[in-house]
Structure formats: structure tokens, C-alpha cells
Amino acid sequence: MDSDLRRMRKAFDTYAKLMQIIANPVIQWDISTQKWIYQTNLKLTLLWYYNSIVMVGLWGLSAFAVLLNILLNKEADPVPLHVVLLQLLTVALATMTATTSLALAAYGRSFVNGWEALFCLKKELGQTKGDNPTSQGIRFYNLWQIMTLVLYQFYVNFFILVPCNLFLNLDAIGYIIHISHLPPLLYWPSQIVRSYIITASAFECLRQYPLIFFLCLSFMTTLGAILEELAVCVKKRKEVKSSLIVYATLRLIYGELKFFAEFCVVAAMTIGLFLAPFMAYISIKMRSHFPVHEFFPGIFFVTVIFIHVSFNIALYVQERSENLLRTWTNCIVNGQLEGKIFRKSIKSLRILQIRGGVGNFTLIKLERSIRIKYYEELTTHTVNLLLGV
């Protein structure tokens, strides 16, 4: 697991060098201390709030307005598919960025505190128990290398999206300016404002995605690794009582982490369900004119990676948690844990389950049946659209 932690921190360092520039995000990776920090100074993060919420919101609303105009204005000339494609990408990117920015502002402080407590607990377990050769843990040797490649791909996409929007006049704001027929005194100032909105919004959108993936995947993989170590100790019938204390501590830490992670899971699944069928449809329609997958592979690749890996890790965490509670219950039956205190402690413990929700409201539970239903809905909508090609 130490090698996985080194790879993970190396990916975080790469993110900090490439993406933490210009505007200071509210959550940053500090290379010197190797920690995530939550910026409380509003002066440092004011530009980030303005770009991530206001500018990105305007960018997304303008793209949504153009899509509505295309759908409702049937008498107008047919709009090229590459324009529709760019508007769909813009709406999806802007929606995800604006919503997760609000989530970072609301839950970021508790998430960073919980993340640091989780890794401190992992270090303490490693020092007290040592490296256990029989513990396999969650070992994603290639996960953080893949995420680093995705990070570079998003960075390259910035130099594709911005010129496409600015110089090819494919963006919604340019389209609105074009159909407004503004006088020269208003035309050039509007173009300057348009350039800032596009550049700032594209940069914030493309650096927000890796941040969300890094935060959620690092917390879930570490949580699963700790549960694996506890399972090995309980299985060998040693340190059973101390493992109960560690699990109770883990439950408290999870309470700090879950709100932000669960919100991001719901947002990614909803936007992925909306975006993937339309992107597949437009990609096939445009296959002879514009190779979409060659220019924007990260949009498809990252959606699949996040949803698939999130499901697998969430199910792994849930299964390990259930096995631990079952083993402790067997220890009571076998007489290894005696006394009313341990019985009450085990009965009070709950399964560590990754749920999808907003605040205290649970919308979905990441279970095997939900994963099948999700991919079933995704496939159904995609096939229905592709039948019209």
C-alpha cells in the first residue's frame, strides 16, 4: 500500500504544478506538506468563486439557451452537428463544475479534515501493526498513472476548446452576439467579455474534474485499505478489541467525508447518464466529418473510469465492512468477546456504505443492482438514439 500512496501523492503533485495556477481554488494540494488544505481567506479564493460559479454559470446558461433555440426554432436553417456537440459539452462541463464548486464551498472544510484524519489513521495502523504480507488490500497499481495521463489530456483539451470557441465562433456567447447585431461600440467590448468568460470557464471546468476524481478516489481506496487491514487482524483472532475502537474511529471520520463524496457521485452519474447517449449519437453522425473521439477522448474515458471504479470501490468497502461486523458477531458467539459493553458496541456499529445523496437525503445506494440498472438505462437511451442514425 505504501507504493500506492507514493503514486497517489505523485499524481497530486502533478496536479498542483499544472492546475493550481492563476486563481487559487478553495481546496489545494500543498506540495511541501503533502496535504490537502482548505483556503479560508476569501481574498485568495474570490477569483476562483467568481470564475467557477458566475462565469461558468453564464457559459452554461448561454449554451443551454442556444440548445433551446435549436430545438424550438424548427423553421430556421439546420444547425451543424459540431455546434450542437460543443453546446452539449459546454452544458455538461458547466453544470458539473458549478455544482461541485458549491459542494466544495459547503463541504470542503469537513472533507479536508476527514481526509487528513483518515491518512493519519492509516499511518498509525502501519506503524503499530507493520506491513502485513498477507494483507492484499486495494491495489490499483495503474490507477494513479491513468489519472495522471487523464490530467495531461484535460490540460491539452484547454488548448483545443478555447481556440474552437474563440476563433471558430462555435460557442454560445459568440452565437448570441452574432444574432444580436450589436453596433460597433458594443460589439468589441462584448467580444472582450466573451473571451474572458470562455477562457476562465474552460480552465475552471477542465481543472475541476481531476480534482473531484483525486479527492473521491483517494478517500475511498484508503478507506478500503484500512478495512482490509482490520479484516486480517480479526481473521487471525488477534487485536479484536482494538480493531473495534479503530472501526468506531473510522466511522466518525467517514461522517466528515461522506457528504462531499456522495454529492459528487450523484452529480457524475446524472450528468453521465445525460451526456453519454447524446455524445454517442452525435459522434456516429459526425464520424465522416469530424473524429470526435480523437479530440475529446477524456470526456468518454473519464466518465467510464469514474463510474466503474467508484462502483467497484464502493462495493468493496461495503462488503469488507459487512464481513467485519459479521466476524465480530461470531466472536461474541464463540466467547472471544465477553461482556455487555462489547455486545452493545458491536450492535451500535453500522456498515460503511457509500450512498449517493445531497445533504442528509439519500437518492441512491451504490449496490450491484443499482450498477446493473444504471448501465441498463445508459445502454437503453444510447441504443434508442442510435436507431435514428
Q: Where are the domains of the chain?
A: 2-386
Instruction: State residue 3 phi and psi, 5-degree precision.
Output: -65, -35
**CB-based contact 321:351 (threshold 8 Å):** yes
Average pLDDT estimate for 360-374? 66
pLDDT band at 138 (very low <50, low <70, confident <90, very high): very low
pLDDT at 154: 76
pLDDT at 196: 92
- Residue 87 grid coordinates: 453546446
- Most confident range (mean pLDDT) of 4-18, 135-149, 235-249, 325-339 is 4-18
**CB-based contact 278:389 (threshold 8 Å):** no
pLDDT at 382: 65
pLDDT at 134: 42
Q: Which carries the bigger pLDDT value, residue 129 or residue 63?
A: 63
Least confident of 210-224, 242-256, 321-335: 321-335
Burial profile 198-232: b = 16 or more Cβ within 10 angstroms, e = fewer? bbbbbbbbbbbbbbbbbbbbbbbbbbbbbbbbbbb
Q: Which carries the bigger pLDDT value, residue 21 or residue 355?
A: 21
pLDDT at 28: 92
Reported as a single tens digit per residue, the pLDDT across 308-349 is 666 777 777 777 888 787 777 776 655 555 555 556 666 667
Least confident of 41-50, 239-248, 288-297, 311-320: 288-297
Angle, helices 2-19/143-167, rounded to nearest 10 degrees: 20
C-alpha 315/C-alpha 353 separation (Å) is 8
pLDDT band at 137 (very low <50, low <70, confident <90, very high): very low
Longest dimension (CA), the chain: 86
**Does the pLDDT at position 7 exceed 60?**
yes
Reported as a single tens digit per residue, the pLDDT across 147-198 is 777 777 777 778 877 887 788 777 788 878 888 888 888 889 998 999 999 9
Residue 185 exposed, middle or buried by CB count within 10 Å (0-12, 13-18, 19+): exposed
**CB-based contact 268:366 (threshold 8 Å):** no
Average pLDDT estimate for 296-302? 50
- Most confident range (mean pLDDT) of 80-89, 99-108, 329-338 is 99-108
